Amino acid sequence: MTNSFGASARPPIGITALGMYVPARVVPNAAYEAHLDTTAEWIESRTGIRERRFAAEHEYTSDVGVAAVRDLLSRDPDGLREVDAVICATISPDALMPSTAALIASQVGLGGAAAFDLSTACSGFVYGLSVAQGMILAGVARRVLVVGAEALSKVVDQTDRNTAILFGDGAGAAVVGPVPGGYGLQEFVMGADGTGGSSLYLRCAAPQLPGGFQMGHSVGMNGREVFKFAVRVLGDSANEVLNKSHLTSGDVDWVIPHQANIRIIEAACGRFGVPMSKTVVNVHRYGNTSSATVPLALREAIDDGRVRDGQQLLLVAFGGGLSWAACTLKWWAGAPSLVARTAQTSEEEAAEVGA
């Protein structure tokens, strides 16, 4: 679907602050060998994953989301200024009600802001950027906080070797708001196909009140079907959003893909013609953190100096639904949390010396 109202005619909206968090507990592949019929070597060779992070016993999705927002604030104390709405993309919410977004908002000083959860699994963060842009353009929010947060270790069956090895916990938090002309979000392509819903699902038992909410404790997955779907949809949606943006794969400085499996990323990049040397990958350290993978990869690529001001980014994700989302983004690095922390620290030190 194309709109008659091109990107260049819209006020520029982009990411104005960014933070991330992963729990301290590292779970290496070898940890599964004791209780599952698997090997560390099998996991790494089939998925690229070497380790993932697990939340602590009493650490839930709202907690990891709050920690990502606090990281954002530690980099930019003014980063939440003018935020009128909070979106939490998650498939492992603390509860169906209240929303995890409301729980996060109230703990980071945004009580009273509009808050709601968004459920499109691993494509949720990119969906959230689009919803945030729409809310700002519609005049209902000045800035929107989009959090991709998961505590998947709580909802994945740790005795199922097909799924247990894939998933980890973590969160990324981005503020979406006005950026200077020529920067920011360009075009989006999003979709969903519920006929594929049974290939990847997380059952949700009825709420047991009072006393809490019983999530299903297993992700159901047809790995081969999801693999084929993922390669096709990542390739097609990336090509479509590049065409819509009047860009070619040669214009892309960095692809920030959903991190589910290194083989999926390699095959998809081959389909839209961007080499792996221009693709940000951290699946080996965090596994699949669903809605958190894209902001975690973006944050790390800024911190190690790969993503810099004015570069052309392509964000692309797929997930349960089945769903997909891709967007083009001209990176703006004009706010304190949008540069590497080392660069930020040396600028602050220089300012202090100069003062």
Min. distance of Cβ 106 from ligand ACO in angstroms? 27
Q: Which one, 72 or 262, has the nearer CB to ligand ACO?
A: 262
Residue 48 is a binding residue for ligand ACO (CB under 6 A): no
Min. distance of Cβ 122 from ligand ACO in angstroms? 4
Query: Which of 316, 299, 309 lies closest to 236, judged by CA?
Result: 316
327 is catalytic: no
Query: Which of 124, 64, 157 lies closest to 320, judged by CA?
Result: 124
Residue 98 is a binding residue for ligand ACO (CB under 6 A): no
Question: Which residue is catalytic, options 122, 261, 269, 327?
Answer: 122
Token pair recorded at residue 155: 């909802």
Contacts by 66-69, CB closer than 8 A, 24 or more apart: 66/104, 66/107, 66/108, 67/21, 67/171, 68/19, 68/20, 68/21, 68/147, 68/149, 68/170, 68/171, 68/172, 68/173, 68/292, 68/295, 69/19, 69/104, 69/108, 69/145, 69/147, 69/173
Residue of 226, 256, 313, 333 interacting with ligand ACO (CB under 6 A): 226
Residue 24, C-beta contacts closer than 8 angstroms, at least 6 positions apart: 53, 56
Residue 58 is a binding residue for ligand ACO (CB under 6 A): no
258 is catalytic: yes
Q: How far apart are the C-alpha atoms of 229 and 223, rounded to whole Å?
A: 10
Query: Which of 171, 220, 234 lies closest to 20, judged by CA?
Result: 171
Q: Which one, 318 or 332, has the nearer CB to ligand ACO?
A: 318
Give the Å distances, CA to CA, from 260 to 71, 140, 165, 186, 292.
Answer: 24, 34, 11, 25, 11
Residue of 25, 50, 70, 161 interacting with ligand ACO (CB under 6 A): 161
Residue of 200, 238, 262, 307 interacting with ligand ACO (CB under 6 A): 200
Q: How far apart are the C-alpha atoms of 183 and 329, rounded to whole Å?
A: 7
**Would you call 287 helix, strand, or coil by DSSP?**
coil
122 is catalytic: yes
Question: Which residue is catalytic, options 29, 88, 269, 288?
Answer: 288
Residue of 118, 260, 268, 294 interacting with ligand ACO (CB under 6 A): 260
The DSSP bridge pattern shows strands 143-151 and 83-89 to be parallel
Stretch that binds ligand ACO, among 125-133, 171-179, 226-234, 275-283 (CB under 6 A): 226-234
Residue 122 is a binding residue for ligand ACO (CB under 6 A): yes
Residue of 10, 26, 38, 308 interacting with ligand ACO (CB under 6 A): 38
Residue 297 is a binding residue for ligand ACO (CB under 6 A): no
Residue 336 is a binding residue for ligand ACO (CB under 6 A): no
Residue 124 is a binding residue for ligand ACO (CB under 6 A): no
Q: How far apart are the C-alpha atoms of 254 and 309, rounded to whole Å?
A: 12
Q: Which one, 174 or 226, has the nearer CB to ligand ACO?
A: 226
Residues identified as active-site: 122, 258, 288
Using CB under 6 A as the criterion, which residues of the chain lie in contact with ligand ACO when the complex forms? Answer: 38, 42-43, 46-47, 121-122, 161-162, 165-166, 200, 221, 223-224, 226-227, 230, 260-261, 288, 290, 319-320
